[in-house]
Structure 1
Amino acid sequence: MSGVLHESVERGAAAAAEILDCTLRDGSYSVDFRFTEETIRAVLAGLENAGLNLIELGHGLGLNAGEALSRPSLVADERCFAVAAETLHRAEWGMFCIPGLAEPDHLTRAAGAGMGFVRIGVDITDVSPAGRFVELAKELGLRTFVNLMKTNVLDDEGVVAAVRRCAGFGADSVYLVDSVGGYLPHEVEELFRRVGAEVAVPLGFHGHDNLGLANANALAAARGGARYVDATLDGIGRGAGNTVTEAFAAILTRHRTGTGYDYRALAQLSESVVRPIPRLHDDRTFQVLGGLTQTHSSFFPLITRCAEAADVDVFELMTAVAEVERVRPTEQLVKELAVSLRP
């Protein structure tokens, strides 16, 4: 393939990707779930005016998570429903949904309030809980995504099998999720090409920025055939943050004009509304090491606590834990590994 033709194919693939903005969902982790109604309205309106069609909001862990975990959002789910319905005139709004935190009636109520899409989040090592929620979501007329959290813990063959199963449930799209921000761009592109060749369902990509590669990985996913790419204004999000909406919109424009996204308006929205919001402290050493060892940020407190109790280096312990169990390490396992690291 000639260089010119190859470049053209790459540009076409990248430009085909659609941004799904999750500033108001993933970004809520960064503000301890305290987005105000004023901020929610401003972001929703600004994103729609800039050409985005898919906008996610609500608690970082999805429907009913605040109540289930006793960590409520400042603006409750039902109020988010009303604000989104009142503010958006063209774009679809949706929420995240983790089976077990959310029950079917929570999904039914959200759909009744006008929600257009739902994203059902499950660990890629056990996708079975998604089945009944996909079935219900389709009955409710929702565009239905399944997000395969911690995609990085399986090899390509395992990812293909998980995606195929979710497609069998009836999902409209399946997301591959770099929960730890540890993928490299060539790995992402190769993974999307492999999965896309094996399963016909449209794919999405959700990346984190632990190694500073979220935007590059998003582009790699698009070049590999991803139909949807998650992003947040100013990259705000859990831990190291996410692909940057305004920058990725500009990247898509760089690959092919006429994407429909006003990246300048997005940059202004990011600068005026999101950047001024105070955020929780982000420990860069933890985030970088988490990306390198592919350790999810939710396990940082447990690893830190066990390292301090055993008087061992927390990052050596993080590495040891990642070599044994990256999906759901137990406290007992971490304690045993911490003891084993003692001189």
Structure 2
Amino acid sequence: MAAEDQRPFAVEILDCTLRDGSYAVDFQFTEGAIRSVLGGLEGSGIRFIELGHGLGLNAAERTGHPTRVSDARCFRIASEVLSSASWGMFCIPGIAELDHLRRAVASGMRFVRVGVNISDVASAEAFIALAKDLGIRAFANLMKTNVLGVDGVTDAVRQCVEYGADAVYLVDSVGGYLPSDVTELFEKVGQSVMIPLGFHGHDNLSLANANSLAAATSGAQFVDTTLDGIGRGAGNTVTEAFAATLYALGDRGRYDFRALGELSESVVRPLERLHDDRTYQLVGGVTGMHSSFFPLISKCARIANVDVFELMDAVADIDRVNPAEDMVMETASAMDAR
């Protein structure tokens, strides 16, 4: 079948270059880069743009990892630059408080993405409820979706429906899904809940774009992307490549993939990025262990003089959501004793 005869997928790109990509530059995006990316994305047809600290609202103050441009300044820049696209921020309950959400909305924010571990979604309720009261779109982002099977994922999505979420994202936080996994997940969850679903993929196994396409062809209505794939750890689905893929499949009217490619080449590719250890990312993808735990596992492996990747595998079998240091050290010591 010719590409022009194929039916385009009804999937919306949500670009999070300026949010997830901030990890890769140690949260040091300049104001000039922020303005260029915002304007370029809007001019290329992107309607949903996320910015700010990788961990969301208030994270620069709460986590000890400051951004070069504050939340308040990001609010102003986005409101000045964007005229048609909506801008939003990530929000992790506990890092952000409800007042931070109120201030962002008062500054012009039109959507929020409430990030919670899929194994404990209750903390999302108050933030979703407030977002709805304030009249903005509320996404629930179920981080570490991979730790639950389809039934567990479906139950978590249903909870978010009860909270009033407008859409729910399934998040491959460790970049470990295969396209067949994504297809099964979206088909089965989509059959069980009546709410738009989104997909956020990481590229540990170089499958983020393939997985995003699998999600789109299986019912996802939103897909996260970043220019040049810039993001935490192994990075994300590539905005310009995914837009070009949609074009090849018949979606010819919305996204200018050539302009996105030029934006990626001129603004994002020249940025100096933190080192990404490829072996760690590969093992993380295979074991299902999130990159935020790599430093802890590495430290315990050094102390116990055991192989870090074998320890990562062992820890993943015990707790992939939030492994405690005591548990990791005990596991390493037990490996050493053997």
Which of the five TM-score ranges fits, normalised by the shorter chain? over 0.9
Partner of 1:104: 98
**2:177 is the counterpart of 1:187:** no
Per-residue CA deviations over 1:269-307 (Å, capped at 9, x if unaligned) read 000000000000000000000000010000000000000
Q: Partners of 2:55 and 2:323 in 1: how far apart?
A: 19
Cα gap change, 1:287 to 1:259, in 2 (>3 Å) = farther
Partner of 1:328: 322
AA at the equivalent of 1:303: I
Is 1:82–1:113's contact at 8 Å kept on the other side of the alignment? yes
Partner of 1:161: 155
**TM-score, normalization: structure 1?**
0.96
Q: Partners of 1:317 and 1:261 in 2: how far apart?
A: 44
Count residues with an aligned counterpart: 336
Structure 2 residue corresponding to 1:64, chosen from 46, 58, 69 = 58
Partner of 2:141: 147
Point out where structure 2 has 5 or more consecutive residues left out of the alignment: none
What is the 5 A alignment of 1:1-343? Answer: 12=7, 15-342=9-336, 343=338
Q: Percent identity?
A: 64
Per-residue CA deviations over 1:238-284 (Å, capped at 9, x if unaligned) read 00000000000001111113241000000000000000000000000
Q: Secondary structure at the match of 1:93?
A: strand
Q: Partners of 1:8 and 1:317 in 2: how far apart?
A: 50
Q: CA deviation at 1:69?
A: 1.0
Point out where structure 1 has 5 or more consecutive residues left out of the alignment: none
Q: Partners of 1:92 and 1:137 in 2: how far apart?
A: 15
Superposed structure 1 runs of 4+ greater than 2 Å apart: none
Q: Partners of 1:105 and 1:332 in 2: how far apart?
A: 35
Q: Partners of 1:125 and 1:198 in 2: how far apart?
A: 19
Q: Partners of 2:330 and 2:168 in 1: how far apart?
A: 36
Q: Secondary structure at the match of 2:18?
A: helix
Is 2:150–2:185's contact at 8 Å kept on the other side of the alignment? yes
Q: Secondary structure at the match of 2:20?
A: helix
Cα gap change, 1:239 to 1:117, in 2 (>3 Å) = same
Is 1:177–1:205's contact at 8 Å kept on the other side of the alignment? yes
Per-residue CA deviations over 1:171-210 (Å, capped at 9, x if unaligned) read 0000000000000001101100101100001000000000
Q: Partners of 2:304 and 2:228 in 1: how far apart?
A: 38
Q: Partners of 2:268 and 2:25 in 1: how far apart?
A: 11
State the Cα RMSD in Å.
1.3
AA at the equivalent of 1:84: A
AA at the equivalent of 1:187: D
Q: Partners of 2:314 and 2:20 in 1: how far apart?
A: 28
